[in-house]
Amino acid sequence: GEDVEQSLFLSVREGDSSVINCTYTDSSSTYLYWYKQEPGAGLQLLTYIFSNMDMKQDQRLTVLLNKKDKHLSLRIADTQTGDSAIYFCAERYPGGYNKLIFGAGTRLAVHP
């Protein structure tokens, strides 16, 4: 089936770490993505991970993948007010050519 689930809201204090979680259903997905959407804007690719990897780090971002549990997480270190946005998890659907299935998004609110 096609279903990606995320928690809807996360609030963190500036300077703390944020962890956004996602579960997906298709174990044969090859790539998993994190996109960021700011108000009134399109989606910006943050990072992606290939399914044969457990972890990927890119500056303040760390992606963890647990294939057994079909769980993906995005950790943002030293969260800043500019990180406030909606974060979407997406899986590349194995049944289509580069078709992405998105979760509903997690709204991250960063407060002082």
Partner 1 sequence: EAGVAQSPRYKIIEKRQSVAFWCNPISGHATLYWYQQILGQGPKLLIQFQNNGVVDDSQLPKDRFSAERLKGVDSTLKIQPAKLEDSAVYLCASSSPAGGNQETQYFGPGTRLLVL
C-beta closer to partner 1: residue 101 or 110? 101
Minimum Å gap between C-beta 93 and partner 1 is: 9
- For partner 1, the binding residues (CB under 8 A) are 4, 30-31, 35, 40-45, 48, 50, 88, 90, 96-100, 102-105
**Is 96 exposed, middle or buried (CB count within 10 Å of its CB: 0-12, 13-18, 19+)?**
exposed
C-beta closer to partner 1: residue 3 or 78? 3
C-beta closer to partner 1: residue 41 or 112? 41
Minimum Å gap between C-beta 4 and partner 1 is: 7
C-beta closer to partner 1: residue 42 or 112? 42
15: which 2 tokens? 């300077």
Minimum Å gap between C-beta 40 and partner 1 is: 7
Q: Which residues are 49's β-sheet partners?
A: 32
